[in-house]
Structure 1
Amino acid sequence: MASKPSHFTLEISKLNFVLKVLKHYKFSEARWFEFGLNLGLLHPTLKAIESANKGDPSNCLMECLAKWLTEGSNHTLVWQTLANALNEMNLISISTDIRKIMADPVSEILQCYIGGLAQVVLTEESVDLLYTEGLISKDTLTKVKSCGCSLVGDPMLLILSAVAEDHSKF
């Protein structure tokens, strides 16, 4: 019998998920350096990332997050740390949404299974049933269908949001 995760933690295997979350909230990749500083990375580390990636903000952000995820000290409060870093950059709405949705305990339970859920492809009838039962919104229904009834990317984030707002949808 497989053991159940007790708490969602972010580590390097979740890098792509963190990038998708930031993209979903329209975080500007160009601000990666300041973001890295607010995450607690050292200036020389960030300069090395910048130099190695020829100033490509997308790669720089990815490398910055990879460094943080592999060397960060407290991976059980990662969403809080990420939200704090965004807050320091005056990105209050993104920070608030991440605290409310990603750091929500019920949302974190679903995140423990994000790898498996990302591989799920639902039938159109199942997606319609989720909407009919009030478990997903019309917007989520449309997005899930537009992704071929897959839970990858925005549909998964919309589901996490719905669960965070109403735990009975879990």
Structure 2
Amino acid sequence: MASKPSHFPLDISKLKFVLQVLKHYKFPDARWFEFGLNLGLLHPTLEAIESAHRGNPSRCLMECLTKWLTKADDNVTTVGPIIWKTLANALREMDVKSIGIDICKTMADPVSEILQCYIGRLAQVVLTEESVDLLHTEGLIFKDTLAEESYFLQQ
């Protein structure tokens, strides 16, 4: 059965958040070039990034993600839509499958995607322990999602 497309695509406004997620899961910045290829960016685009920011892999990763989030290359959409699942699949194609799996589990699930739409507002909300337990009891959040979302809300 085919999975439903995400109703919450990523865009350039989520760049900082995407970088935070990759950092949280310890994605090695030095792997940005291969990651960019897996995301569908063209070799000349990645070469231009490397030329402009040689010796600064974190900046190269940021520029690579910027190009992906803005669909700078027409080829990007042939890999998949600009969503967490596409990003996770690009990681799975590398030697960092566990990062891809973790991102897919915590960022691409429907509840997490909804929470991401409201992250600015949620950052201002303090949930009581009882509220969190109730959400978990009702099956609206899982322990993994709760741990990840609370980490990112603290940022």
Give TM class, smaller chain: 0.7 to 0.9
User: Match of 1:73, as an amino acid?
Assistant: T
* 1:106 aligned partner: 111
Distance 2:104 2:16 in 1: 19
Q: Quote the residue 2:52 is aligned against.
A: 52
- The partner residue of 2:154 within 143, 152, 155 is 152
Structure 2 residue aligned with 1:43? 43
Contact 2:107 2:113 in 1 (8 A): yes
User: What is the CA RMSD across the aligned residues, in angstroms?
Assistant: 2.8
1:79 and 2:84 aligned: yes
Counterparts of 1:127 and 1:57 in 2: how far apart (Å)? Answer: 40
Q: How many Å separate the matches in 2 of 1:45 and 1:110?
A: 33
Aligned pair count?
A: 137
Q: Partner of 2:93 in structure 1? A: 88
Q: What percentage of residue pairs aligned between the two structures are identical?
A: 62
Q: Is the 8 A contact 2:11 2:82 kept in 1?
A: no
Indicate the residue corresponding to 1:61 in structure 2: 61
Separation in structure 1 between the aligned mates of residue 18 and residue 113 of structure 2, nearest angstrom: 13
Q: Return 5+ residue gaps in structure 1 as ranges.
A: 1-5, 154-170
TM-score w.r.t. length of structure 2: 0.74
> How far 1:44 sits from its partner (Å)?
1.0
1:37-63 Cα deviation digits (max 9, x unpaired): 111111111111111113201100000
Instruction: Give structure 2 stretches of 5+ with no counterpart.
Output: 1-5, 137-141
List 4+ stretches of structure 1 deviating above 6 A: none
Q: What's the offset of the Cα at 1:111?
A: 1.1
What TM-score do you get using the length of structure 1 for normalisation?
0.68
User: In 2, distance between residues paired with 1:21 and 1:56?
Assistant: 19
Q: Tell me, in whole angstroms, the C-alpha distance in 2 between the residues paired with 1:100 and 1:62.
A: 23
